[in-house]
């Protein structure tokens, strides 16, 4: 070979394609790139890369001088132009020859002959190729109108130098011809530098067929089969296949003979494609044009012939045409290609730009692409991201392989036509082979998605428990700040708790629903409206396609709210979570907060699903995990079988009392024991009286069975009798206040991190004034205030202060906190200052509401729960601790329980398998705790023990705490019971334990 280095004067998928073959031939490769393509795969794939200019193509990929300079600087012996840009530029081919560089493609004369469509028509007509009735170059609109009237409508106006579907206009009347003529003239002049226009008869339901040829420039031309490229949108090819379906052998032979005849007449060299219009109804074909370059769809020809067209072109440029000495290769099998574009089918296929956060194609297909996760798609170039090619022994096999490949492919970060392509390759018109250039107009595409009209202050996708356990590699935890509200919304909708949803901060987004959906709003009140009508919180809300959800600023308590959708959002996990980490720029659909124009795709709703049985598995954490083999949730029995959630409001207790015990899916021996006691419904547990010894023995058997059933559970969500809110599935509005946690009433995210005490005092004074106003607006006494200082490294520094209910002075709040700031290290910079408050009064109000509802039904829910706790045994059923002001935050590094509630409202909580943090830790139940959190009564091994003296709130930090960075510890006390026995009691969780580090009370041995 006369050269050893090939420069690819192109970009994108064709550049990577050419580099692959050149490298296989042992050639050195040089890539040229613009500043906008610095991260493209073709840059890293080449042996050497040269930047030839800024993003605009005119200053880079069309800059002949810059490309030739790069070729000379790198010792290039040949240039492959790919397709597009300079591939059909005769002057560029001549410039390469003048510089002593081989042009890998046809001769300049070939390019000129076929570059203008009117001259190509003349050559084709001279050699007997059939032409659609048409004209030569037109001089004006009057001549065009007269020609159209003679030929008959419809007609198509074409720019003589056009290509790729650009510079064409279909006209069905004289008025459209006159208007379209001027438009095509302008487009031809602007896009190709040639204003010439001609006219042809338009065949509405035609097929687009083409023949691949290869010549030696001396009269020898070989045909390499035909392709069908009929599936087009706005004259742009979308799906191509080889060989052409539903084409008789006679017509196929006539097509190939005509193409070879034209190539021989032109003395064609290298690869080229002769395109025809085929009228399937009349079985007539007409010459359209010839492309003097490698086609985008050349891959399907390679798949069925077994040749490498790029290799043939490179060999031909070196003067080696021995491949034409052998007979033309026979076609075997069938191949299909689709073009993946960065465009939004929901917005009239408008091109999209941005960063790709995920790119994944199946390994068993041929995928030619220039992108990967992290690639930046700019607006400077053609929006094609990739070509996906499949092959099969039959057309049916090739199509089935493409359908499977598109289903398995993912491209995230921007909108693409991937989902639309899935519909195209399943359309009956395509699978049957009865294709035409108008077929795609009949492909109905209705995506299940939400379009973002306005993003709000900071709206992001989150899931629970989020991204945990990666601090050792520098990735802080991600997930919903108020995970209680987040998980509650998913439970209301019947989603697994980990299903991805939206977190709204400070001010909310405006969302347009493009499909029917069911949503739930939880957390802070953002004054949400649905088409102007107030949208309720805490309940399932049906949204119709076309409706708009608008959310304003947060009001009342809290700064964060949540939008959960039945089925969840279709977001690919990153580092095990779909949560968005905006500072790290990863996670979520686009690695950032939502902005106007974003599209959120929806998963189909999980019909009839509530809390998963056998929780802690993949389906709890990943909504896209397989749901096969899972039974209906034992907590959501549905006699009607419609998958509807249980009732709320005043009917909830009646529903709970009527809940069949059999619906809890307990083991047979447990159900047998309950039936012998005459207990068929949950409400009957409160009415059982005076059991004899035989009944007590049966109860003991039931208790033991429950112990065995739940001994190895890894997640509280696995237990069929968990808590009141889980048992109901939906929490009514009066119960929402029981989710009592420190709520961030006011906060300041600082534009520049604070590094000095003085500005911190100033910010705190402003926040204190805002806090007073917020407290007055609530009209309730705050039991505790908290100050949280968030450092730029993600650590939170917190100081808590007890306040009297009457505290209402900003200056007093400021003094209390300022006195404790002296030991705060602001050397790393404080990024967020937050004041939070906790209340106790709302808990009593919620209890009153619940009791009032209970009286209407003659059933005491508290009594029902108490009775169940007694009947089924102390180790099986216990009460969670309920302390309104002592609920840890995510900032402390671990997840709080689902919903801390007062003992009278607490549901049922089962112990899970002990976490082996210490030598034989024992799980316990804390039945009562003082306001400072020190346990006063606890249950251990079936025995309730009173704490006589608590040496707390002293916190113990033993050696094992320092040795295990993944342990999440809180509330570690040394206590002494009435018998003088001393213990360590602590509440802890372990990251990566399958439960998101949800804490549980444990007891460890006797203290020395």
Instruction: Tell me the mean pLDDT per 10 residues along the chain, length 1008.
Output: 93 96 96 94 93 94 96 97 95 96 97 88 91 88 94 90 78 93 88 84 89 97 97 92 96 96 96 94 89 96 97 97 96 97 93 93 95 92 96 97 96 96 95 92 90 94 91 83 89 91 94 96 94 94 96 85 96 92 90 94 70 30 30 29 34 48 50 59 44 48 44 32 30 27 51 59 73 62 60 54 54 67 56 60 34 39 38 29 25 28 27 28 69 69 67 42 40 65 62 44 53
Evaluate the CA torsion angle 105, 108, 113, 117 in order and state its sign.
positive
Residue whose C-alpha is closest to residue 921's, from 990, 996, 984, 995: 984
Give the pLDDT score at 106: 97
**Which residues in 681-697 are b (16+ Cβ under 10 Å) and which e?**
ebbbbbebeeeeeebee
First and final C-alpha spacing in the chain: 86
CA distance readout (Å), 432 to 132, 193, 395, 427, 695: 27, 41, 10, 9, 70
Residue whose C-alpha is closest to residue 763's, from 713, 712, 694, 834: 834
For 39-42, the CB contacts below 8 A with 24+ separation are 39/374, 39/375, 39/376, 40/11, 40/12, 40/15, 40/370, 40/371, 40/375, 41/16, 41/369, 41/370, 41/371, 41/372, 41/375, 42/8, 42/11, 42/12, 42/15, 42/16, 42/370
CA distance readout (Å), 952 to 660, 934, 957, 985, 987: 45, 6, 13, 11, 14
Rounded distance between C-alpha atoms, residue 827 and residue 757, angstroms: 10
Does residue 569 contact residue 600 with C-beta atoms inside 8 Å?
yes
Phi, psi of 852 (to 5 degrees): -65, -40
Dihedral, CA atoms, 915, 918, 921, 927, nearest 10 degrees?
A: -80
Give the pLDDT score at 14: 97
Evaluate the CA torsion angle 550, 556, 557, 558 in order and state its sign.
positive
Give the pLDDT score at 753: 56
Q: Answer whether the bond into residue 580 is a cis peptide, omega within 30°.
A: no
Strands 269-279 vs 284-291: parallel, antiparallel or unpaired:
antiparallel
Three-state secondary structure call for residue 862: helix
Alpha helices, H only, 597-636: 618-621
Residue whose C-alpha is closest to residue 406's, from 380, 387, 392, 383: 387
Phi, psi of 355 (to 5 degrees): -100, 130
Dihedral, CA atoms, 394, 396, 401, 405, nearest 10 degrees?
A: 140
| Helix axes 861-872 and 693-710, enclosed angle (nearest 10) | 90
Here the tokens at position 616 are: 């802690």
Does residue 83 contact residue 293 with C-beta atoms inside 8 Å?
yes
CA distance readout (Å), 1005 to 254, 920, 950, 976, 986: 92, 8, 16, 12, 12
Does residue 740 contact residue 908 with C-beta atoms inside 8 Å?
no
Number of other CB atoms surrounding residue 715 within 10 Å: 22
Residues forming a β-bridge with 289: 275
Give the pLDDT score at 171: 94
Rounded distance between C-alpha atoms, residue 244 and residue 832, angstroms: 63
Residue whose C-alpha is closest to residue 48's, from 30, 34, 61: 30
Tell me 507's DSSP state: B
Residues forming a β-bridge with 279: 284
Q: What is the pTM for the complete model shown?
A: 0.62
Rounded distance between C-alpha atoms, residue 124 and residue 127, angstroms: 5
Residue whose C-alpha is closest to residue 969's, from 994, 924, 1000: 1000
Rounded distance between C-alpha atoms, residue 658 and residue 682, angstroms: 6
Three-state secondary structure call for residue 250: helix
Tell me 538's DSSP state: S
Number of other CB atoms surrounding residue 50 within 10 Å: 19
Rounded distance between C-alpha atoms, residue 653 and residue 859, angstroms: 8
Q: What is the largest CA-CA distance in the chain?
A: 113
Number of other CB atoms surrounding residue 533 within 10 Å: 8
3-state secondary structure 138-154: CCCHHHHHHHHHHHCCC
Residue whose C-alpha is closest to residue 324's, from 221, 226, 225: 221
The side-by-side arrangement of strands in the sheet containing 155-163 is 166-171, 155-163, 197-201
């Amino acid at each position: 070979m006369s050269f050893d280095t090939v420069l690819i004067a192109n970009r994108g998928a064709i550049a990577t394609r050419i580099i692959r073959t050149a490298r296989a031939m042992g050639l050195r490769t040089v890539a040229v790139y613009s500043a906008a393509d610095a991260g493209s795969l073709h840059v890293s794939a080449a042996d050497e890369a040269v930047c030839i200019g800024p993003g605009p193509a005119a200053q880079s990929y069309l800059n002949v001088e810059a490309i030739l300079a790069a070729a000379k600087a790198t010792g290039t012996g040949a240039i492959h132009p790919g397709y597009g840009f300079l591939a059909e530029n005769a002057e560029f081919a001549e410039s390469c020859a003048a510089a002593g560089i081989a042009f890998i493609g046809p001769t300049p004369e070939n390019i000129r002959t076929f570059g203008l469509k009117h001259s190509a028509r003349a050559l084709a007509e001279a050699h007997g190729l059939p032409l659609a009735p048409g004209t030569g170059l037109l001089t004006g609109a009057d001549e065009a109108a007269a020609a159209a009237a003679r030929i008959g409508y419809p007609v198509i106006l074409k720019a003589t130098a056009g290509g790729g579907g650009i510079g064409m206009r279909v006209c069905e009347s004289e008025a459209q011809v006159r208007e379209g003529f001027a438009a095509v003239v302008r487009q031809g002049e602007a896009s190709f530098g040639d204003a010439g226009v001609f006219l042809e008869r338009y065949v509405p339901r035609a097929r687009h067929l083409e023949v691949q040829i290869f010549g030696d420039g001396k009269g020898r031309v070989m045909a390499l089969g035909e392709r069908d490229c009929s599936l087009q949108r706005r004259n742009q090819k979308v799906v191509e296949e080889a060989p052409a379906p539903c084409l008789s052998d006679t017509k196929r032979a006539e097509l190939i003979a005509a193409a070879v005849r034209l190539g021989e007449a032109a003395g064609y060299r290298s690869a080229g494609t002769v395109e025809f219009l085929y009228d399937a109804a009349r079985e007539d074909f007409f010459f359209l044009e010839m492309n003097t370059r490698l086609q985008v769809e050349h891959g399907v020809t390679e798949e069925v012939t077994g040749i490498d067209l790029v290799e043939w072109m490179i060999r031909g440029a070196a003067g080696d045409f021995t491949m034409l000495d052998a007979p033309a290769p026979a076609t075997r099998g069938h191949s299909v290609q689709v073009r993946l574009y960065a465009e939004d089918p929901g917005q009239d296929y408008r091109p999209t730009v941005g960063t790709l956060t995920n790119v994944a194609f199946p390994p068993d297909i041929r995928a030619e692409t220039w992108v990967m996760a992290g690639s930046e798609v700019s607006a400077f170039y053609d929006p094609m991201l990739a070509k996906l090619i499949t092959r099969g022994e039959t057309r049916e096999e090739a199509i089935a392989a493409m359908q499977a490949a598109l289903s398995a492919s993912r491209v995230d970060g921007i909108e693409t036509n991937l989902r639309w392509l899935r519909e195209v390759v399943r359309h009956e018109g395509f699978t049957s082979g009865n294709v035409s250039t108008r077929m795609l107009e009949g492909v109905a595409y209705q995506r299940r998605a939400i379009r973002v009209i306005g993003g709000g202050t900071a709206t992001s996708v989150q899931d629970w428990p989020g991204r945990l356990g990666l601090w050792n590699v520098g990735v802080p935890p991600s997930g919903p700040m108020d995970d209680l509200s987040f998980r509650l919304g998913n439970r209301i909708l019947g989603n697994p708790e980990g299903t991805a949803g939206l977190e709204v901060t400070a001010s909310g987004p405006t969302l347009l629903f493009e499909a029917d959906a069911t949503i739930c709003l939880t957390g802070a009140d953002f004054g949400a409206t649905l088409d102007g009508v107030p949208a309720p919180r805490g309940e399932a809300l049906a949204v119709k396609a076309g409706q708009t959800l608008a959310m304003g600023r947060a009001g009342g308590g809290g700064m964060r709210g949540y939008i959960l959708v039945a089925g969840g959002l279709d977001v690919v996990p990153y580092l095990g979570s779909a949560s968005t980490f905006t500072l790290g720029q990863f996670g979520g659909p686009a690695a950032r907060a939502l902005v106007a124009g974003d599209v959120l795709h929806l998963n189909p709703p999980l019909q009839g699903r509530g809390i998963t049985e056998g929780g802690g598995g993949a389906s709890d954490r990943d909504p896209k995990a397989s749901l096969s083999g899972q039974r209906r949730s034992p907590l959501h029995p549905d006699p009607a079988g419609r998958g509807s959630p249980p009732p709320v409001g005043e009917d909830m207790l009646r529903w709970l009392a009527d809940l069949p015990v059999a619906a809890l899916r307990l083991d047979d021996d447990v159900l047998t024991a309950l039936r012998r006691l005459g207990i068929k419904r949950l409400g009957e547990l409160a009415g059982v009286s005076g059991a004899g010894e035989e009944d007590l023995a049966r109860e003991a058997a039931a208790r033991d069975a429950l112990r065995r059933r739940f001994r190895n559970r890894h997640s509280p969500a696995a237990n069929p009798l968990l808590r009141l809110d889980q048992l109901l599935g939906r929490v009514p509005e009066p119960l929402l206040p029981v989710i009592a946690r420190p709520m961030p009433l006011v906060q300041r995210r600082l534009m520049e991190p604070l590094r000095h005490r003085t500005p911190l005092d100033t910010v705190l004074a402003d926040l204190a004034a805002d806090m007073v106003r917020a407290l007055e607006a609530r009209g309730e006494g705050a039991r505790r205030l908290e100050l949280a200082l968030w450092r730029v490294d993600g650590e939170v520094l917190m100081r808590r202060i007890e306040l009297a209910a009457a505290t209402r002075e900003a200056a007093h709040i400021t003094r209390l906190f300022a006195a404790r700031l002296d030991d705060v290290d602001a050397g790393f910079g404080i990024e967020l200052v937050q004041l939070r408050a906790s209340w106790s009064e709302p808990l009593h109000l919620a209890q009153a509401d619940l009791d009032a509802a209970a009286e209407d039904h003659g059933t005491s829910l508290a009594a029902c729960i108490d009775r169940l706790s007694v009947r089924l045994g102390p180790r099986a059923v216990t009460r969670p601790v309920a302390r309104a002001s002592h609920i840890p935050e995510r900032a402390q590094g671990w997840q709080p329980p689902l919903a801390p509630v007062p003992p009278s409202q607490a549901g049922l909580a089962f112990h899970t398998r002990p976490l082996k943090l210490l030598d034989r830790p024992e799980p316990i139940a804390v039945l009562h705790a003082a306001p400072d959190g020190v346990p006063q009564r606890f249950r251990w091994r079936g025995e309730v023990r009173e704490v006589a003296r608590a040496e707390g709130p002293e916190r113990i930090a033993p050696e094992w705490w320092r040795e295990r960075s993944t342990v999440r510890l809180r509330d570690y006390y040394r206590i002494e019971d009435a018998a003088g026995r001393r213990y360590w009691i602590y509440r802890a969780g372990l990251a990566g334990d399958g439960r998101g580090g949800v804490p549980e009370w444990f007891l460890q041995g006797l203290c020395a």
